[in-house]
A and B are shown apart, each in its own frame.
Chain A
Amino acid sequence: MLVTGMLALVAGPAQALELRVVDDGHTAGYVTLAWENDGDVELQQRDGNGAWRTVYRGADSATTLSGLDDGEFAWRARPAVAGNVTTNTPWGKALNVEIAHHPLQRALGFFAVGAVMFVILLACIALPWRVSGQPAAGGQP
């Protein structure tokens, strides 16, 4: 995973919110971000066109974003007062995360291996069982 920090705005260091990844699912399209703050925060995500949009505002100290496509995503956060009114506090460092799903070919390969094992397992269990107590000579796996 590529995680880089960049200074989005000139910020007062005492109030800047720092984001961190606490559950990294960059090859599966999800990521859980966390931050430290006593009050409400506003979290924004940078879309493909470069525009920032708010994806969370509230008092939790983490959020999980899932269903993300391949590409580089960026998030930034800042303290906010309760409700929809944001303060003028500066944005913290943006956190960049590169989402890179496994190649579909690899995924289908694992899928096929699993399917083959399932069929073998079914056959092993569905075939008639040897009568209990009978000598087991001659069995073939």
Chain B
Amino acid sequence: MNADAVLSTPVAVVIVAIFSVFWVALGWWLGRANRSLEDYMLAGRHVGLGLATATAMATWVTSNTTMTAPQLAYQLGIWGMVGYSLGAVGLLLFAPLAKRIRELMPHGYTSGDFIRVRYGRFAWRVFLLISLFYALGWLVSLAMAGGLLVEALSGIPYAWGMTVIVVTCTLYTVFGGLRAVIGTDFVQTLIILAGLALLAGLVIVEVGFEPVHRQLAEERPGLLNLLLPASLMFLFNNLLFGVGEIFHSNVWWSRAFAFGEGVGFRAYLLAGLMWLPVPIVAGFIALAAPALGVNVPSPDMVAPLVAGHLMGEAGAILVFIVVFAALASSLDSLLAATSDLLLNDIYRGHLRPDAGEAELRRAAAWIIIALGALAWALAMPRLGTLAALLHLTGAFVASTIWPIVFGLRWGRGSGAGAASAMILGTVCGLVAYNVIGFYVAALVSAAVSLVVTTVTFQLSRKRFMFSELAATRATGP
């Protein structure tokens, strides 16, 4: 599809090979310290501030940040770019929640643990369906992004690039568990930050703000329009989407459990502040496309195309490495956290309640492999664009915000109420996605869920004892 590949195939193959071997070796090396299931799943529950901040930031800088944020800037203009950066609010607001979660559930393993104890088994199963659908959607979008990146920059077929990236991340996550994920995230954070800073600097020096603005004003004035209707609708939609993603996903809950005592609050706060400018930088690169005369065959490829056009092979290599790091840092986190959810809430919670630690340890590795294989199989047909796939999941995750926030704060509420809020919110969000557009799916879902949660909390006579959460592991699923 793209005739603008700027990275020669041999160079791309060498980069992929070097980084793949490096990540797998690092994951294996870090994983040697694992002694127990808790080490494997939660890195021993004593991750320090530096690693904690790096892993939170790197996980949230996904290939979607580096590829979908520019896509939204290219399609929805200034507000698309700013709206995407509001995804940082999710990290910032999760900081106090992480503290609260760690205090309430010092022995917890997953977000599913909270929902099960707080709301009962039916709401737990609804939550698991939502969470697993989201995790799979995110996994597939990451795998697709890997394939698209490799193809856009080097011309290597989509299927090959996607396969190598999925296999690499699956391997080192299997070898090292969460400890490997967090360790590699630290290195990947350094690469991402250094690479983006360099890219942004080069774009400003080489193109400048004025020519970009002038070309947009002449050719695509709608992108500069601060009252562009779809962009206005998108702004809080994306904020709530990000909040829904972080508040419900086990990627963030497992880190709240894994971070040392008192670390979670500061780590999430710092990570949010560090993440905030990343989509702005990535979006600005996309807005430079018209000024540079770069054709954009598929909007999710706009950032690598612009960087490659602007900086030639060196720029293409830089983008390639940055996005590869961003991709790996999220894919590994998602594999680890989703396998934890499947292991703890499905395998142990539903299928094998009496499984011992050795069996669970083996099952964890097989679940990661199965997840990687499933993501690969679903990404292979290359259905839809990254944004379309990603925002479909917004209708699901935004419905979980209020049951989680209200459930952590107040003792009222019932399982039926929480389940209704999640189901009705999701259904209405999906209707909005299809009838109005992807940019309102999370917004509508969250609004419906808020109304249902508020009403059911008001009507509920039940009083939940938060002390029940402290004994989560003693009781077991």
Residues of chain B within 8 A (CB-CB) of A6 are none
- Does chain A have a CB within 8 A of B136? no
Q: What residues of A have a CB within 8 angstroms of the CB of B291 in the complex?
A: none
> Does B409 sit within 8 A of A, measured CB to CB?
yes
Return B219 CB to nearest CB of chain A, in Å: 7
In the assembled complex, which residues on chain A have CB atoms less than 8 Å from the CB atom of B405? 121, 124-125
B450 touching A110 by the CB < 8 A rule? no
Contact A59 B3 (CB under 8 A): yes
CB closest chain-B residue, reference A25: B75
Decide if B411 touches A139 in the complex (CB within 8 Å): yes
| Stretch touching chain A among B23-31, B57-65, B438-446 | B438-446
B9: CB under 8 A from chain A?
Answer: no
Instruction: Give the docked Cα–Cα distance between A59 and B4 (Å).
Output: 9
Q: Is B103 an interface residue (CB 8 A)?
A: yes
Q: Mark B67-80, 1 if CB is under 8 A from A, else 0.
A: 00000001111000
- Which of B75, B220, B408 is the one whose CB lies under 8 Å from A28? B75
A 96-119 contacts with B by CB, 8 A: 101-104, 106-108, 110-111, 113-115, 117-118
Please pick, from B76, B89, B229, the residue contacting A102 in the complex, using a CB distance under 8 A.
B229
- Interface check B466, CB cutoff 8 A: yes
Main secondary structure of the interface of B (DSSP, over half): helix
- Shortest CB-to-CB span from A83 to chain B, Å, is 14
CB pair B1 A117 closer than 8 Å: no
Binary flags per residue of A55-88, CB closer than 8 Å to B gives 1, else 0 = 0101111111011110000000000000000000
Q: How large is the interface on A (under 10, 10 to 19, 20 to 34, 35 or more residues)?
A: 35 or more
Question: How close is A141's CB to chain B, nearest CB, in angstroms?
Answer: 4
| A8 sits at the interface (CB 8 A) | no
Is the pair B410, A69 in contact by a Cβ cutoff of 8 Å? no
Name A60's contact: one of B2, B235, B413, B465 (CB within 8 Å). Answer: B2
The minimal Cβ–Cβ distance linking B88 to chain A, given in whole angstroms, is 13
Partner of B233, one of A107, A125, A139: A107
> With A27-B437, A106-B229, A107-B230 as given contacts, are A68 and B222 in contact (CB-CB < 8 Å)?
yes
B392 to chain A, nearest CB (A): 14
- Taking a contact as CB atoms under 8 Å apart, the answer to whether B413 and A113 are in contact is no
For the complex, what is the distance from the CA of A98 to the CA of B84, rounded to whole Å? 27
User: A59 CA to B3 CA in the complex, in Å?
Assistant: 6
Residue B346 interfacial (CB < 8 Å) = no
Complex interface: chain A residues within 8 A of B446 (CB)? 117
| Complex-state Cα separation, A130 to B407, whole angstroms | 12
List, in ascending order, chain A residues with CB within 8 A of B225's CB. 67
A120 within 8 A of B: yes
CB distance from B276 to the nearest CB of A (A): 16
Q: Does B347 contact A (CB under 8 A)?
A: no
Chain B 414-466 residues near chain A, CB threshold 8 A: 436-437, 439-440, 443, 446-447, 450, 453-454, 457-458, 463-466
* Across-interface contacts of A110 in B (CB, < 8 A): 232-233, 236-237, 440, 443
Pick 17 A–B contacts, CB within 8 A, sort by A: A27-B436, A32-B297, A56-B295, A60-B297, A63-B295, A66-B77, A66-B220, A66-B299, A67-B223, A101-B228, A106-B229, A107-B229, A114-B443, A117-B236, A124-B406, A124-B409, A137-B411
User: 4 closest A-B pairs (Cβ-Cβ)?
Assistant: A136-B411, A114-B236, A67-B220, A139-B410
Q: Please give the residue numbers on chain A whose beta carbons come within 8 Å of chain B beta carbons, in ascending order.
A: 23, 25, 27-30, 32, 34, 56, 58-64, 66-69, 101-104, 106-108, 110-111, 113-115, 117-118, 120-122, 124-127, 129-130, 132-141
Known interface pairs A64-B302, A103-B229, A120-B450; 12 further A-B residue pairs with C-beta atoms within 8 A, sorted by A's residue number: A32-B297, A60-B3, A104-B227, A111-B236, A113-B236, A114-B235, A125-B97, A125-B405, A129-B409, A130-B409, A139-B410, A141-B413
